């Protein structure tokens, strides 16, 4: 089969970073080619070069055996290239139709937008590719899964046949991801060629026809999914062998640290998000909160850490009532928080790394004497923490915004874990991180557990929940639908609970009860 | 047990909406009661308010409506109280209707009380309302075009002032009002171009850029006015556009006088309102403008040139504001006075926000502010107990109420004020 697309020696430099180093890549007609690599390996940069968002410093792009000059997205679109970006490029207050037609509008009577015609085309594409969506809906009213369909329709509407998907499953539930894979296979069957960027090994093995692995801006190898396995791919990605499961001893739970009773919390729109939730977390155990995104986990974590008003119910930490306590009060009870939105709640992006490393204690000795911050002490502590937690940064004085996502997360973990903590509330602690960072953070969490910290882990990643938790509570529509022991459940059983289906024949467990086994 | 908690919490959620209804409705009832007491009960029973519909010199004299002040206001105040009560119990879903009805009732009460024992030419008042609303409308349209593309425009005042100045001088020099108008528009485009370069290319904070332009325009026109126009008075006389009655339509009583016997700039402004609305919501340009104002990166990935759209919109916005400024001179007094825009650019900004960045809504707000403006002039003549300056505060007060979200929610374009950086 002749390659439809060929990248030759693509090199892209950013100040101080060689993001792509002479990368060669071919894409055949009608194949799904997975581009695998850790965060920061240069996958997105390469695709942005191909889509015309970056100019390469060296190298050339051949499309259908001809050298293509791609100076901007317009050229890429004209060559039949379409890209679904990791962060969706949709306008929330526009309808599906308006989003799809933007930049390539249908016009009647010389000037008037022809929304009807585009809506009709969208319906046709929906039927043809199984991408069901209402053209008249506003994007802001659609779920993330459906928004992604709109992104794919945008490409098809422009008659793109070389499709690039950048980390498309990062925001999807397992079910939505399965739907997406079906759509991609369907597209492939109709002759489209697809580049699929991911760092999830399972997806690569399930979907790809060919695999190319990038590391530190270089192609380190390629593989055929039939002849490889997760361990081998992971080794290529990280450059060493990685342990994919977490080694941990059985938990030794002690006294109750976090006690939540009949908690009710509202969301931004004043709808009930957490509905009468009760549970306990003991010192030395990890309670995982599983669930599909948007079932109240976000609001739960925010309420427990004092970032969201509690309507009714009570929260006590180490016997102290913190229902309406301020975040600082809760922090001073030696509670650590790894927030879900690390850039909004976890860091001050415009501050240097060193200040971000002491945000929870900057006002107290030894970091402050009275009103005056002790720069030397802070610098010394920051240097130590950067060393200990392997934060990759040019120095502790650069703004934390210039770090990669994984290193930003390590800054948060370094700050929160560097003191003696009694309770850890971690929301999506490894979202968007590479295998190496995930492994590292998981190890740290288990260390804290074994040191007697109570851990509440909120995650949408079922694998993460299952490998770290001792007990798992599943949230569905704001309630804890069931609580199970991690070693007595399966992924399938949790999946059903996450979808709100409970085995009605089994007696419901009392939600406040701690299983005897662990006592 | 879960069910009970759930409903309790859900009730709590709807309480928030209920609370706002109580706040607004309660306010209306209280204001209604105050009106009842002050504007009705305090007026002697035999006092009459007369509304005329034709001026002294008009060929057709329409009948005069004589209303007993006390009874009329009694009824109007009761209507206001009833409306407030209705809002509390049932809720008025459309915020425009809520605001429109209560504002109209309040104004009617106040007007009837102000002219007790006297008479008022209502047609004349409405005619001057329309004329005075035109600079607000044009300023608001300027703000809309600019901000819908994501660039904040608080320089409307400065653009208007500059255009007012330039058009007078060019008018005096050339003796041609149309050349004067074009010169005014070009001066607005030039200033807007500076704003565009500062905020798009140099990514200067758009509020600061706008403020600088306002200060610069005020300083420059003051200086030139003092040094040049006051010594060469003949330069400060451009002449004005004459009224252009539309055949037949202008003969309609009341309505014809208000709408169809105006200078051409009024018709152009009203036409522009429809044109901007069409442009924004029905054309390719409008779709791209709004996209760039909401999520420029998304537009960029689809091959839309973010910078081109923004430059063009800001410059077009400058010309719209300039038309509003030229209207103050060429369309009205024919001469330039120091700082003659007198905050109209900022009221236009208020009208834009009030209208939720939509042309028609902003026109409604402009009319309201224009009404206040002309009413306070009349009240100066009627020597009301209430200082007319209070009415001049009304636009700002109303804007604060709207921005506080008491009446309804307004939503600025999401990417407004954020410079776009291409990688």
B15, B287, B356, best to mutate vs chain A, most A CBs in 10 Å:
B287
**φ/ψ bin of A313: left (φ > 0), alpha (ψ from -120 to 50), beta (otherwise):** left
Q: Is residue B423 situated within a structural domain?
A: no
Q: With contacts defined as CB-CB under 8 Å, which chain B residues touch A271?
A: 10, 13
Report the CATH number at residue B234.
Answer: 1.10.3470
What ipTM was predicted for this assembly?
0.88
A294: CB partners within 8 A, 6+ apart: none
Within this chain, domains A3-238 and A243-334+420-519 share the same CATH topology: yes
Count of beta carbons in the 10 Å neighbourhood of residue B397: 11
Same domain, B221 and B282: yes
Strands A193-198 and A32-37, by their bridges, are: parallel
Task: Kindly report the length of chain B.
Answer: 423
Domain A243-334+420-519 annotated CATH 2.40.50.140: no
- pLDDT tens digits, residue range A463-490? 889 889 999 999 988 999 999 999 888 8
pLDDT at A17 > cutoff 90: no
pLDDT of residue A39: 67
Find, among B199, B24, B56, B218, the residue nearest to B123 by Cα.
B56
The answer to whether the CB atoms of B8 and A312 lie below 8 A apart is yes
Which residues of A fall within a CB distance of 8 Å from B13?
266, 270-272
DSSP B59: S
Locate the DSSP E strands across B40-194: 48-52, 65-68, 119-121
Q: CA of A403, closest CA in chain B: separation in Å?
A: 17
Non-local (6+) Cβ contacts of A432 within 8 A are A39, A167, A170, A405, A406
Of all residues in chain A, what percent carry a pLDDT higher than 90?
61
Query: Which residues touch A223 (CB under 8 Å, ≥6 apart)?
Result: A210, A211, A213, A232, A233, A236
Residue with the larger pLDDT of the pair A212 and B409: A212
Distance, in Å, from the CA atom of B94 to the CA atom of B100, rounded to the nearest integer, reads: 10
Residue A84, CA distances (Å) to A87, A153, A169, A348, B345 in order: 8, 10, 11, 29, 43
Task: Tell me if A265 sits within 8 A of A436, measured CB to CB.
Answer: no
Query: What distance in Å separates residue B282's CA from the closest CA in chain A?
Result: 5
d(CA B69, CA B47): 6
Please report residues of B whose CB lies closer than 8 A to that of A72: 303
The reply to whether B249 falls in a domain is: yes
State the DSSP code for A467.
H
Reported as a pLDDT band with limits 50, 70 and 90, residue A514 is very low
A46 vs B: CB within 8 A:
no
Residues of B with CB under 8 A from a CB of A: 1-2, 5-6, 8-10, 12-14, 16-17, 282-284, 287-288, 290-291, 294-295, 297-304, 411, 414, 423
Give yes or no for a contact between A205 and A244, defined as CB atoms under 8 angstroms apart: no
Contact between chains at B287 and A154 (C-beta distance less than 8 A): no
Which tens digit of pLDDT belongs to each residue from A243-261? 556 778 888 889 999 999 9
Q: Is B246 exposed, middle or buried, given 0-12, 13-18 or 19+ CB atoms closer than 10 A?
A: middle
Q: Give A162 to chain B, closest Cα distance, Å.
A: 15
Please state, in angstroms and rounded to a whole number, the distance separating the CA atoms of residues B242 and B330: 10
B109 shares a domain with B211: no
Confirm if B186 and B244 have CB atoms less than 8 A apart.
Answer: no
Q: Helices B2-35 and B69-89: crossing angle, nearest 10°?
A: 170
Question: Is residue B389 domain-resident?
Answer: yes
Other beta carbons within 10 Å of A93: 16
Which one has a higher pLDDT value, A285 or A269? A285
Helices (runs of H) and strands (runs of E) counted in chain B: 15, 5
Note whether residue B416 is domain-resident: no
Indicate whether A516 pLDDT > 50. Answer: no
pLDDT of residue B407: 57
Query: Which is it for strands B48-52 and B243-245: parallel, antiparallel or unpaired?
Result: unpaired
User: Are B85 and B159 contained in the same domain?
Assistant: no
**Could you give the C-alpha distances from A118 to A123, A125, A146, A174, in angstroms and in order?**
9, 10, 18, 31
Beta-strand pair B261-263/B243-245: antiparallel
Alpha carbons A203 and A302: distance in angstroms, whole number: 31
Is residue B8 situated within a structural domain? Answer: no
- A194 vs A204: CA distance, rounded Å: 13
What is the pLDDT at residue B21?
84
**Which residues in chain A are closer than 8 Å to B302, comparing Cβ atoms?**
73, 77, 89, 102-104, 154
Look up the CATH architecture of domain A3-238: 3-Layer(aba) Sandwich (3.40)
Inter-chain touch A275–B6, beta carbons under 8 Å: yes
User: Which residue, A24, A22, A27, A82, is CA-closest to A51?
Assistant: A82
Going across the sheet that includes A58-63, the strands are A17-28, A3-14, A58-63, A66-68
Task: Please report the pLDDT score of residue A16 as a whole number.
Answer: 61
Residues forming beta bridges with residue A286, ordered by sequence position: A455
Measured CA to CA, the distance from residue A248 to residue B328 in angstroms comes to: 79
Furthest-apart CA pair in chain B: how many Å? 86
Assess if residue B408 is contained within a domain: no
Contact A398, A350 (CB under 8 A): no
Inter-chain residue contact A101 with B290, CB threshold 8 Å:
no
Residue range A302-330: mean pLDDT, rounded? 94
Output the CA angle A259-A263-A266, nearest 5 degrees. Answer: 145
In a shared domain, residues B274 and B174: yes
What's the distance, CA B304 to chain centroid? 32
Q: Are residues B157 and B302 in the same domain?
A: yes
Residue of B nearest to A70 (CA): B303
Q: At which of B66, B84, B117 does a domain end? A: B117
Domain range holding B226?
A: 123-403
Where are the strands (E) in A433-478, listed by range? 454-458, 471-476
Query: Residue A73: which of B9, B291, B301 has the nearest Cβ?
Result: B301
Residue range A129-144, pLDDT digits in tens = 989 999 999 998 888 8
Q: Taking the CB of residue A490, how many other CB atoms lie within 10 A of it?
A: 10
d(CA A164, CA A168): 10
Question: Rounded to whole angstroms, how far apart are CA atoms B81 and B35?
Answer: 10
pLDDT averaged per 10 residues, chain B (length 423): 47 66 89 92 89 77 88 94 91 79 89 86 91 97 97 96 96 95 97 96 95 96 93 89 90 86 95 98 97 96 96 98 97 92 92 92 91 81 70 73 66 90 75
The three-state secondary structure class of B153 is coil
CA distance B62 to chain A (A): 45
Q: Which residues pair with A341 in a beta bridge?
A: none
> DSSP H helical segments within B115-155, as ranges?
122-148
**CB atoms A272 and B10 under 8 Å:** yes
* A112 with B283: Cβ contact below 8 A: yes
Query: What is the domain count for chain B?
Result: 2
Residue A306: pLDDT band by 50, 70, 90 thresholds?
A: very high
Mean pLDDT for the stretch of residues A420-446: 87
Whole-number Å distance between alpha carbons of A316 and A325:
10
In angstroms, what separates the C-alpha of B374 from chain A's closest C-alpha? Answer: 38
Task: Name B121's bridge partners.
Answer: B52
B140 & B102 share domain: no
Evaluate whether A153 touches A99 at the Cβ level (below 8 Å).
no
Instruction: Please name which of A252, A324, A305 lies closest in space to residue A283, comparing C-alpha atoms.
Output: A252
Q: What is the pLDDT of residues A409-429, one digit of tens each?
A: 899 999 999 989 999 999 999
- Model pLDDT, residue B10: 52
8 A C-beta contact, residue B64 and residue B70: no
Tell me the C-alpha to C-alpha distance, in Å, between residue B199 and each of B150, B158, B188, B205, B423: 10, 16, 16, 6, 17
Higher per-residue pLDDT: B140 or A266 = B140
Average pLDDT of the residues of chain A: 88
**CB B402 within 8 Å of CB B19:** no
What's the alpha-carbon Rg for chain A, to the nearest Å? 25
Helix/strand/coil percentages in chain A, nearest 5: 35, 25, 40
Instruction: List, in order, residues 6 or more apart from B422 with CB less than 8 Å away.
Output: B300, B306
B233 and B369 inside one domain = yes
User: Last residue of a domain, which of B89, B117, B145?
Assistant: B117
- Residues 95..154 of A with a Cβ closer than 8 Å to B: which? 98-99, 101-105, 107, 111-113, 154
B314, B374: one domain: yes
Q: Per the omega criterion (within 30 degrees of 0), is the bond before A366 cis? A: yes
3-state secondary structure of B172: helix
User: Using CA atoms, how far apart are residues A257 and A334, in angstroms rounded to an integer?
Assistant: 11
Q: Are B251 and B393 in the same domain?
A: yes
Given a contact cutoff of 8 angstroms between Cβ atoms, the answer to whether B292 and B149 are in contact is yes
Quote the pLDDT of residue A515. Answer: 43
CB A120 within 8 A of CB A109: no
Whether B5 sits inside 8 A of A312 (CB atoms) is: yes
B178 and B253: one domain?
yes
Residues B91 and B130 in one domain: no
Contacts of A53 in chain B (CB under 8 A): 301, 423
A244: closest CA among A406, A412, A430, A387? A430
Query: Residue B365: inside a domain, yes or no?
Result: yes
Cα–Cα distance, B156 to B154 (Å, whole number): 6
CB pairs under 8 A between A and B: 98
Q: Could you tell me the residue ranges of all domains in chain A?
A: 3-238, 243-334+420-519, 346-418
B57 and B147 in a common domain: no
User: Which residue in B10, B13, B303 is closest to A77 by CB distance?
Assistant: B303
């Amino acid at each position: 089969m002749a390659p439809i697309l060929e990248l030759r020696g693509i090199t892209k430099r950013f100040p101080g970073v060689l993001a792509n180093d002479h990368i060669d890549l071919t894409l055949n007609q009608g194949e799904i080619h997975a581009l695998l690599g850790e965060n920061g390996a240069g996958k997105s940069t390469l695709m942005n070069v191909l889509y015309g968002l970056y100019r390469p410093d060296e190298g050339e792009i051949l499309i259908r055996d001809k050298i293509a000059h791609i100076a901007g997205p317009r050229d890429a679109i004209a060559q039949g290239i379409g890209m679904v970006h990791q962060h969706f490029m949709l306008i929330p207050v526009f309808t599906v139709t308006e989003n799809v037609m933007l930049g390539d509008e249908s016009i009647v009577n010389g000037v008037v937008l022809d929304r009807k015609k585009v809506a009709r085309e969208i319906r046709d594409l929906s039927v043809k590719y199984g991408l069901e969506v209402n053209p008249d809906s506003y994007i802001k009213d659609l779920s993330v899964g459906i928004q992604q369909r709109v992104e794919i329709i945008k490409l098809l509407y422009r008659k793109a046949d070389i499709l690039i998907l950048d980390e498309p499953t990062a925001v999807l539930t397992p079910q939505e991801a399965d739907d997406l894979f079906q759509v991609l296979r369907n597209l492939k069957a109709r002759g489209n060629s697809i580049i699929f960027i991911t760092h999830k090994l399972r997806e690569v093995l399930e979907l790809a026809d060919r695999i190319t692995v990038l590391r530190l801006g270089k192609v380190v190898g390629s593989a055929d999914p039939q002849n490889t396995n997760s361990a081998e791919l992971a080794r290529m990605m990280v450059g060493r062998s990685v342990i994919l499961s977490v080694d941990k001893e059985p938990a030794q739970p002690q006294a109750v640290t976090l006690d939540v009773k009949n908690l009710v919390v509202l969301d931004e729109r004043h709808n009930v998000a957490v509905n009468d939730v009760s549970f306990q977390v003991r010192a030395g155990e990890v309670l995982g909160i599983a669930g599909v995104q948007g079932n109240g986990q976000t609001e739960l974590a925010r309420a427990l850490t004092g970032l969201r008003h509690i309507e009714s119910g009570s929260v006590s930490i180490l016997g102290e009532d913190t229902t309406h306590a301020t975040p600082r009060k809760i922090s001073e009870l030696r509670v650590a928080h790894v927030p879900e939105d690390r850039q909004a709640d976890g860091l001050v992006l415009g501050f240097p790394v060193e200040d971000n490393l002491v945000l929870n204690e900057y006002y107290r000795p030894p970091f402050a004497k009275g009103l005056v911050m002790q720069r030397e002490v802070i610098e010394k502590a920051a240097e130590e923490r950067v060393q200990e937690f392997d934060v990759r940064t040019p120095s502790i004085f650069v703004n934390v915004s210039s770090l990669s996502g994984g290193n930003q997360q390590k800054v948060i973990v370094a700050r929160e874990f560097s003191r003696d903590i009694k309770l850890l509330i971690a929301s999506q602690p490894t979202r968007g991180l590479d295998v190496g960072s995930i492994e590292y953070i998981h190890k740290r969490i288990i260390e804290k557990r074994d040191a007697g910290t109570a851990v509440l882990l909120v995650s949408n990643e079922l694998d993460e929940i299952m490998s770290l938790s001792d007990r798992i509570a599943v949230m569905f529509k704001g309630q804890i639908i069931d609580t199970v022991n991690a070693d007595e459940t399966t992924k399938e059983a949790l999946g059903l609970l996450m979808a709100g289906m409970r085995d009605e024949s089994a007696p419901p467990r009392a939600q406040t009860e701690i299983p005897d086994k662990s006592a | 047990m879960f069910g009970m908690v759930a409903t309790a919490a859900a009730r709590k959620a709807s309480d928030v909406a209920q609370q706002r209804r109580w706040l607004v409705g309660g306010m209306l009832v209280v204001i209604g009661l105050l009106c009842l007491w002050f504007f009705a009960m305090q007026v002697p029973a035999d006092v009459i308010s007369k509304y005329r519909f034709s001026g002294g010199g008009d060929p057709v004299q329409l009948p005069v409506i004589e209303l007993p002040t006390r009874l009329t206001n009694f009824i109007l105040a009761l209507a206001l109280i009833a409306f407030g009560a209705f809002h509390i119990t049932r809720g008025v879903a459309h915020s425009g209707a809520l605001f429109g009805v209560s504002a109209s009732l309040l104004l009617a009460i106040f007007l009837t009380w102000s002219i007790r024992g006297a008479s008022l030419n209502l047609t004349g008042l409405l005619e001057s309302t329309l004329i005075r609303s035109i600079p607000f409308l044009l300023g608001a349209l300027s703000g809309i075009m600019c901000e819908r593309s994501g660039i904040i425009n608080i320089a409307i005042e400065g653009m208007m002032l500059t255009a007012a100045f330039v058009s007078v001088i060019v008018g005096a020099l050339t003796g041609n009002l149309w050349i004067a108008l074009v010169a005014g528009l070009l001066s607005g485009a030039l200033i807007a171009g500076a704003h565009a370069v500062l905020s798009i290319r140099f990514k200067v904070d758009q509020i600061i850029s706008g403020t600088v332009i306002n200060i610069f325009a005020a300083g420059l026109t003051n200086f030139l006015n003092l040094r040049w126009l006051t010594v060469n008075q003949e330069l400060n006389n451009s002449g004005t556009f004459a009224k252009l009655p539309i055949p037949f339509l202008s003969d309609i009583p009341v309505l014809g006088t208000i709408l169809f016997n105006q200078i051409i700039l009024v018709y152009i402004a009203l036409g522009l309102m429809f044109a901007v609305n069409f442009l924004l919501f029905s054309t390719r340009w409008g779709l791209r403008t709004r996209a760039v104002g909401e999520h420029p990166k998304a537009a960029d990935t689809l091959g839309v040139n973010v910078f081109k759209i923004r430059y063009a919109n800001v410059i077009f916005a400058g010309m719209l504001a300039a038309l509003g400024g030229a209207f103050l001179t060429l369309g009205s007094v024919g001469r330039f006075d120091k700082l003659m825009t007198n905050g109209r650019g900022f009221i236009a900004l208020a009208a834009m926000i009030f209208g939720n960045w939509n042309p028609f809504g902003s026109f409604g707000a402009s009319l309201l502010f224009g009404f206040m403006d002309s009413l306070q002039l009349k009240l100066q003549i009627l020597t009301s107990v209430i200082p007319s300056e209070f009415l001049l505060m009304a636009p700002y007060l109303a804007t604060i109420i709207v921005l506080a979200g008491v009446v309804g929610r307004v939503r600025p374009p999401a990417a407004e004020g954020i410079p776009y950086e291409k990688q």
